[in-house]
């Protein structure tokens, strides 16, 4: 399957898979046998990983979802840190991705250091569209082939991928490890194609570039406060709109996304003590019931993701989030 990038569409291989087989698919992708002219495969895999919980019930992700993340990741790496994503050689060649980002920056007269999420919506959409049109041709089929046709089906004309349910489960279980392997190989590639000075502190630059600045949570606070209880989700203490804090029920560091189905209102004390931990399982049941009401009242367009919170909790545990927090006193 050498010329994967030429495929217009393909289906994942549908047969039972052992964990060993799934690990070897990733081992191949991260080996020197997988050839890279650009860093796209690493960026695209990262975009899929960051969208794992945004699939619909058939595990479909659209190119628009994926390339929005992809563009955001590269915006900082390319424009802020000036890290090349392709060997420039003597002719100072740029990848199509770099051209598309520079096009967007120049078209809108954007300054170097403005983070992608601060651009107004229309600019973001335009730039993502440009990146998608330039990059989808090569990367979607190439990553498909490098993972042995096991990870997803895709259609370039339909602009979607559909993740193999067997691989989905596996990747969710080993998300943190796969993400770290991806970073490591991505960094190795970038060291090869960049000048020394560009790649100082490379791993932290990649990490920072893939980390969305947390958005303002006031919008979610208001919905939850007005429609649900004005008590701390954990200890039951009464809270006011001014004193209440918005807590990511599944830690933000694991989920890296702001979705209403993962938010609860907490008093500052509980929020501060819970930090990066999971809450005990009673609270998982409580948020799960709450999410059903959210869906009913139409506050969560992501019903499939909202219903997956119990699975995500379990995956977080398997990925090293095994310290379980309990509030001091509870009146639940």
Residues that bind Zn ion (CB under 5 A): 232, 234-235, 237, 267, 270
Report in angstroms how near the CB of residue 228 gets to Zn ion at its nearest: 15
**Which residues, in sequence order, are bridge partners of residue 191?**
none
Alpha carbon distance 90, 82 (integer Å)? 18
Per-residue DSSP letter, 85: S
Q: For the CA atoms of 268, 273, 277, 281, what is the dihedral angle to 10 degrees?
A: -80
**Range list of H helices, the chain:** 19-29, 40-50, 63-74, 96-107, 121-146, 165-173, 175-193, 202-209, 218-227, 252-255, 268-274, 281-296, 303-306, 309-318
Closer residue to Zn ion in complex, CB, 52/279: 279
What is the pairing mode between strands 324-325 and 278-279? parallel
Closer residue to Zn ion in complex, CB, 178/239: 239
Report in angstroms how near the CB of residue 268 gets to Zn ion at its nearest: 8
Report in angstroms how near the CB of residue 317 gets to Zn ion at its nearest: 23
Report in angstroms how near the CB of residue 310 gets to Zn ion at its nearest: 22
What is the pairing mode between strands 278-279 and 160-163? unpaired
Contact 227, 95 (CB under 8 A): no
Would you state the structure tokens that stand for residue 222, as one six-digit string?
Answer: 């208001």
Closer residue to Zn ion in complex, CB, 127/264: 264
Residue 286 backbone zone (phi > 0: left; psi -120 to 50: alpha; other: beta)? alpha
Report in angstroms how near the CB of residue 276 gets to Zn ion at its nearest: 17
Closer residue to Zn ion in complex, CB, 11/285: 285
Closer residue to Zn ion in complex, CB, 244/312: 244
Closer residue to Zn ion in complex, CB, 49/232: 232
Closer residue to Zn ion in complex, CB, 186/283: 283
The packing angle between helices 19-29 and 165-173, to 10°, is 80
Alpha carbon distance 325, 264 (integer Å)? 15
Per-residue DSSP letter, 79: I
Closer residue to Zn ion in complex, CB, 24/330: 330
Report in angstroms how near the CB of residue 329 gets to Zn ion at its nearest: 9
Q: 């869906």: which residue's tokens? A: 295
Report in angstroms how near the CB of residue 300 gets to Zn ion at its nearest: 23
Report in angstroms how near the CB of residue 266 gets to Zn ion at its nearest: 5
Half-sphere exposure (Cβ direction) of 256: Cα atoms closer than 13 Å: 19
Report in angstroms how near the CB of residue 218 gets to Zn ion at its nearest: 19
Closer residue to Zn ion in complex, CB, 166/274: 274
Question: What phi, psi does 157 have (nearest 5°)?
Answer: -75, -35
Contact 47, 70 (CB under 8 A): yes
């Amino acid at each position: 399957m050498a010329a994967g990038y030429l495929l217009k569409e393909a289906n994942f291989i549908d047969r039972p898979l052992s964990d060993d087989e799934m690990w070897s698919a990733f081992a191949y992708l991260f080996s020197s046998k997988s050839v890279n002219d650009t860093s796209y495969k690493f960026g695209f895999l990262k975009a899929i990983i960051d969208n794992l919980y945004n699939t619909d019930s058939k595990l479909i992700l659209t190119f628009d979802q994926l390339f929005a993340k992809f563009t955001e990741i590269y915006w900082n790496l390319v424009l802020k840190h000036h890290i090349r994503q392709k060997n420039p050689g003597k002719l100072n060649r740029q990848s199509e991705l770099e051209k598309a980002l520079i096009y967007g920056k120049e078209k809108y007269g954007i300054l170097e250091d403005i983070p992608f999420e601060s651009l107004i919506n229309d600019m973001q959409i335009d730039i993502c569209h440009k990146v998608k049109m330039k990059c989808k041709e090569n990367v979607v089929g190439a990553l498909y082939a490098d993972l042995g046709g096991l990870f997803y089906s895709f259609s370039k004309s339909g602009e979607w991928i559909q993740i193999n349910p067997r691989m989905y489960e596996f990747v969710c279980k080993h998300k943190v490890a796969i993400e770290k392997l991806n970073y490591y190989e991505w960094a190795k590639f970038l060291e090869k194609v960049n000048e020394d000075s560009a790649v100082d502190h490379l791993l932290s630059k990649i990490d920072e570039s893939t980390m969305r600045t947390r958005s303002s949570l006031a919008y979610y606070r208001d919905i939850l406060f007005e429609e649900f209880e004005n008590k701390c989700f954990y200890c039951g203490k009464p809270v006011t709109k001014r004193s209440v804090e918005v807590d990511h029920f599944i830690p933000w560091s694991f989920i890296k996304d702001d979705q209403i189905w993962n938010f609860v209102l907490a008093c500052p004390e509980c929020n501060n003590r819970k930090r990066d931990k999971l809450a005990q399982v009673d609270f998982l049941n409580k948020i799960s019931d709450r999410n059903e009401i959210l869906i009913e009242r139409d506050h969560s367009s992501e019903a499939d993701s909202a219903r997956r919170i119990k699975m995500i909790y379990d995956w977080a545990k398997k990925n090293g989030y095994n310290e379980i927090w309990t509030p001091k006193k509870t009146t639940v």
